[in-house]
Chains A and B, each alone.
Chain A
Amino acid sequence: MTQNTSIAGEAHGSLRGYATGFVLSLILTAIPFALVMVESASSSVPVVGIFIERNLQLSRYAVGVDRSVVIAGIFVAAAVQILVHLHYFLHMDRSSSQRWNLMTFLFTVLVMAIFIGGSLWIMFDLHYRMMGS
């Protein structure tokens, strides 16, 4: 894609780009919120579940989103929205002018994965080993 540069060689956007990023972000925020709201509604008072059911005209069996679907949905939506922000707001792409930014960012993601994944692994393992005592 064509890279626009101006102030000090910095990448910049267009009105269309910011608008697209904004709308996509709204959608990607609404989806996980809706998933959680439906999930909490269906797992609590049945009256609420019927209210949703009648208004959305879903079958009785469709209401009640599975928890694992909701959790996966939250993570996927978050990941995609972050990518949207990086591209439309921070103008990150695969062009040569963004190469250094992209590479250093990817390295940071690797470090973050080690931090968070490693902490969870260690603490889970510790919890498992400590369960007897």
Chain B
Amino acid sequence: MTAYAQTIDAAQAADHGHHDARENQAFGFWLYILSDLILFSALFATFAVQMRSFAGGPTGKELFDLGYVAGETLLLLLSSAGFGLAMLALREGRRNRVLRWLGVTFLLGLGFILMEIHEFHGLIAEGNGPNRSGFLSAYFTLVGTHGIHVTFGLIWMAVLMLQVVVKGLSAPVQGRLLRLSVFWHFLDIVWIGVFSVVYLLGMVQ
């Protein structure tokens, strides 16, 4: 074993109780995320069943703007990359850099939410709200639930940015940032499913 590895080993052994707690927190959060995936799969299943139930109302092809969805997708993808860069800065212990990249991620995520609110508002204003048809009901529920998750992620992110400012990159703050990063990346994964099944498949009528 190298001297470096031996040092890590010794540090981990000394830190054993603390180390285990942190790993449990990380894994526990992972299990929560998986349960959230199950929730989304129920919403996806419902959407799949309802995706052609137009009730004489508009179809996805008539409602969706692929360029707009591409914009939303790009914002969310960039925000995932941004969070990755924040985590790299975290590993290097560079506090201001962490804040900067979290800030970028936050703005990109906020942009995504604003675009989505605009989209929902437009649909409802034209009378194509969730009460119009089974298709639209399932659409608003699935996409809306994802949007609510992103919003909560943004609130969490803002709180953590404040904690970084006040407490610095302490061990608990690091653990929280790690858990938020898992949460944020999963939101992008769910969005891949959303834009593929809801928007793209919806256009192929």
B105 partner residues in chain A, CB cutoff 8 A: none
Question: A119 to B48, Cβ gap below 8 A?
Answer: yes
| Residues of chain B within 8 A of A33, CB atoms compared | 66, 70, 200
Q: Is the CB of B34 within 8 A of A116?
A: no
User: A66 vs B179: C-alpha distance in the bound complex, in angstroms?
Assistant: 43
Question: Per DSSP, are chain A's interface residues mostly helix, strand or loop, or mixed?
Answer: helix
Is the C-beta of A78 less than 8 angstroms from some C-beta in chain B?
Answer: yes
Tell me the bound Cα distance from A82 to B189 in angstroms. 6
Docked-complex contact A90 and B34, CB < 8 angstroms: no
Q: Contacts of B91 on A, CB cut-off 8 Å?
A: 6-7, 12
Q: Could you tell me if B87 and A12 are in contact, using CB atoms closer than 8 angstroms?
A: yes
Q: Does B41 contact A (CB under 8 A)?
A: yes
- Secondary structure at the B interface, as helix, strand, loop or mixed, is helix
* Cα distance, A102 to B188, chains bound together (Å): 18
A77 touches B196 (CB 8 A): yes
Give Cα A119 to B48, complex, Å: 8
Q: Which residues of A contact B201 (CB under 8 A)?
A: 71, 74
Q: Quick check: B200 and A36 within 8 Å, CB to CB?
A: yes
The answer to whether B204 touches A22 (Cβ under 8 A) is: no
Given A29-B73, A75-B196, A37–B23 Cβ distance below 8 Å?
no
CB distance from A22 to the nearest CB of B (A): 5
Given contacts A78-B193, A101-B30, contact A8 B178 (CB under 8 A): yes
A13 touching B34 by the CB < 8 A rule?
Answer: no
